[in-house]
Amino acid sequence: MSAPHPKKHGNYPTLLVVFSITLALMVVGLFGLLLIHAHRLSQVVRENLEVQVYLERDLPETELLRLQQDLGQQPYVAELGGKPQIRFVSKEDGARQLLQTTGEDFKEFLGDNPLRDAYVLKIKPEYTDTAHLRRLDRALAIQRGVFEVQYPQSLFASINQNLTRVSLVLLGFAAVLVLVVIILIDNTIRLALYSQRFLIRSMQLVGATAGFIQRPFLRRATWQGLAAGVLAALLLLSLLQYAYLEIKELRLLRDDVLLGGLLLAVVGLGVVIGFFSSARAVHKYLRMSLDELN
């Protein structure tokens, strides 16, 4: 016995279902892109935070090299291309920078340069919270040759606090949005299967089992979810490339790993919701009486 294929009966709005799921997944994907770029922006902000390590006066060249090597081996120092992000600023360089900033040469009336040589360290983003910075401060202060450690504590704390708040708000919106999209896709598929309710009953009456009846509907819903997910992913990728062309600075926030994960999640969400929504709707009509179907 072969059951009639659901496409041959009823008026199932395939294109409308795929279009509706694609739009819903696009909404999730766009918000996902916002989260990715906000996350990358927070990393860029943290990566540009610096700690100044002021040195004892008249340190010999060997001590300066030793201290630079010691600092470069610390786990909290950021790296670029495998090289620690450490910059040496001599007291002469500091004087020139101060002269450019203020326009006044303090050495003329002081008769000497009171500034100190310093190493400027870029810190890894995961070490920029208050607790890590305090431990970092204590560890640097006991280094031989170090006079003082300075960093803008209030700025660090303010950035961390604000980024945490923004992240929590965005994650809350994302959770609500995913829930709304799941409900929308579920209702779309259920409404589409409403036109197939009598076909389901007809298959029941000729003796088809529940699994046999569900199989073609689940297969179709899975393929529709996959098609909608792939289409949404391609549209998101196209929109993102267009945004990068129009706003070149946005490329600095690009994260290909997270972007690939998001696109796979969009496709997977379409497949999973399509499958389970179809299974639930068919199961519902299998349990309904003929009077309830009318």
User: Using one digit for the tens of pLDDT, what is the confidence trace for 207-245?
Assistant: 666 667 678 888 888 898 899 999 999 999 999 999 889
> Domains of the chain (ranges plus CATH)?
6-43+159-293 (no CATH), 50-151 (3.30.70.3040)
**Residue 84, both tokens:** 């620690």
Task: Please give the residue that has the higher pLDDT: either 3 or 14.
Answer: 14
Residue 190 amino acid letter:
R
* Residue 16 pLDDT class (50, 70, 90 cuts): confident
Q: How confident is the model at residue 9, as a pLDDT?
A: 44
For residue 25, the surrounding DSSP H or E stretch is: helix 14-47
* Alpha helix (H) residue ranges in 121-196: 130-141, 153-194
* Residue 48 pLDDT class (50, 70, 90 cuts): confident
DSSP 8-state class, residue 250: G
DSSP-based three-state secondary structure for 10: coil
Length of the chain: 294
Q: How confident is the model at residue 234, as a pLDDT?
A: 95
- 8 has a pLDDT exceeding 60: no
Phi, psi of 207 (to 5 degrees): 95, 10
DSSP 8-state class, residue 7: G
Q: How confident is the model at residue 264, as a pLDDT?
A: 95
Q: Which residues contact 2 (CB under 8 A, 6 or more apart)?
A: none
* Residue 6 pLDDT class (50, 70, 90 cuts): very low
Residue 224 vs residues 26, 188, 273: alpha-carbon distances, Å: 15, 12, 10
Q: How confident is the model at residue 229, as a pLDDT?
A: 92
Quote the pTM value.
0.68
For residue 147, the surrounding DSSP H or E stretch is: strand 146-150
Q: What is the DSSP string of 59-115?
A: --HHHHHHHHHHHHTSTTB-EETTEE-EEEE-HHHHHHHHHHHHS--THHHHSS---
Q: Which residues contact 284 (CB under 8 A, 6 or more apart)?
A: 190
User: Using one digit for the tens of pLDDT, what is the confidence trace for 255-288?
Assistant: 889 999 999 999 998 899 888 888 887 777 666 6
Q: How confident is the model at residue 195, as a pLDDT?
A: 66
Q: How confident is the model at residue 104, as a pLDDT?
A: 64
